[in-house]
Amino acid sequence: MRSRALQESPGSCRCCLFHIFQAGHSGEIMPLEAALMEDWVLQLSLAWLGLGPVAASPWLLLLLVRASWLLACVLARIYAFCDNRCRLRCFLQPPKRNWFWGPLGLVKSNEEGMRLVEDLGHYFRDVHLLWMGPFYPILRLVHPNFTAPLLQATATIIPKDMFFYSVLNPWLGDGLLLSAGDKFLKPCMKIFTKSADIMHAKWQCLASEGSTHLDMFEHISLMTLDSLQKCVFSFDSNCQEKPSEYIAAVLELSALVIKRTEACDLVHDFTEAVIRERHCTLISQCSQDLLKAKAKVETLDFIDVLLLGKDEDGKELSDEDIRAEADTFMFEGHDTTASGLS
């Protein structure tokens, strides 16, 4: 009875152990019951150490395995990063913007950024290292002696780094850009070679005529577009040898994209400058007095209405909202009104 009660109460405190051992040594318990009691004492002791039946739960074991695996992965990543950082110390590095961000923010997507990249290529003629932040290194190969072995290697030897490409995977899938294998490029190699031969023949003809200057980008763009038309559409437009309306339209669209961006920047800069100036005027003068003065001479501006307007919660419009309304008002009031009047 005593042993059954002890087995049914696994939450007994430490003082119970003293009575259990005392009862076992006094001979008041049968041998079988004593064995069961000793087994229970062992399980209870292991439970205190985290090694008993509770610790042997499948879910806890699974949690322990997962935690161990996660810790091993973290340690492996840390070791690989430290080892990689030590290996990269032999390469020269350009000046950093700061110790944490490195050159981030220096290389901009404009002509100034292009010139900076060009200057780095002139200064570090072979190879140099760029750290994009504290954890992502980019090894930039400049000299052909370094780039040639890389370009000639297969994807299995030098796999693509999916750090930047991973965001495109849900859209493009395992297509030509993101693939790590041969895919369907091998059958297209003859087409690429033929398109390149046409371009080389044009260059030989120009060289024989004594012309040594040409727009490299225009010729190579025609070659790549010629290859794509043949591979994607099985269509030979002879765009490298005669003018093509399709190629002209593609080039015009590319130019329009750049012109559109420049035009948007110009319009936005103009509107933002007016808003900033009017903000300063409203801050320096009392807004209510300014409204009354303008109401008398009937010169209340649309910008003033937007700057002083508030919603039901008393929240003012942001500069972006005011700019959008002003740009819309200018377009609607100018273009459509002029068309109607005409």
Q: Is 267 part of a structural domain of the chain?
A: yes
Which of 216, 193, 245 is closest to 237 using CA atoms? 245
Q: Is 157 part of a structural domain of the chain?
A: no
Asked whether residue 262 falls in the same domain as residue 197, the answer is no
pLDDT of residue 72: 92
pLDDT at 47 over 50: yes
Q: What is the model's pTM?
A: 0.41
Domain count, the chain: 4
Q: Domain range holding 21?
A: 2-48
Asked whether residue 254 falls in the same domain as residue 337, the answer is yes
pLDDT at 324 over 60: yes
| Three-class DSSP labels, the chain | CHHHHHHCCCCCCHHHHHHHHHHHHHCCCCHHHHHHHHHHHHHHHHHHCCCCCCCCCHHHHHHHHHHHHHHHHHHHHHHHHHHHHHHHHHCCCCCCCECCCECCCCCCCCHHHHHHHHHHHHHCCCEEEEEECCCEEEEEECCHHHHHHHHHCCCCCCCCCHHHHHHHHHHHCCCCCCCCCCCCCHHHHHHHHHHHHHHHHHHHHHHHCCCCCCCHHHHHHHHHHHHHHHHHCCCCCCCCCCCCHHHHHHHHHHHHHHHHHHHHHHHHHHHHHHHHHHHHHHHHCCHHHHHHHHHHHCCCCHHHHHHHCECCCCCECCHHHHHHHHHHHHHHHHHHHHHHHC
Asked whether residue 327 falls in the same domain as residue 253, the answer is yes
Asked whether residue 335 falls in the same domain as residue 299, the answer is yes
Among 100-104, 198-202, 218-222, name the most confident range: 198-202
pLDDT at 200 over 90: yes
Of 152, 168, 197, the residue at which a domain comes to its end is 152
pLDDT in tens, 232-279: 788 888 888 888 787 788 778 888 988 998 888 888 888 888 888 887
Asked whether residue 114 falls in the same domain as residue 43, the answer is no
Beta bridge partner(s), residue 139: 129
Asked whether residue 38 falls in the same domain as residue 95, the answer is no
Asked whether residue 229 falls in the same domain as residue 265, the answer is no
Q: What does the alpha-carbon distance between residue 262 and residue 270 come to, in Å, rounded to a whole number? A: 12
pLDDT band for position 166 (cuts 50, 70, 90): confident
More confident residue, 236 or 39: 236
- Whole-number average pLDDT of the chain: 75
pLDDT of residue 78: 92
pLDDT at 13 over 50: no
pLDDT of residue 291: 60
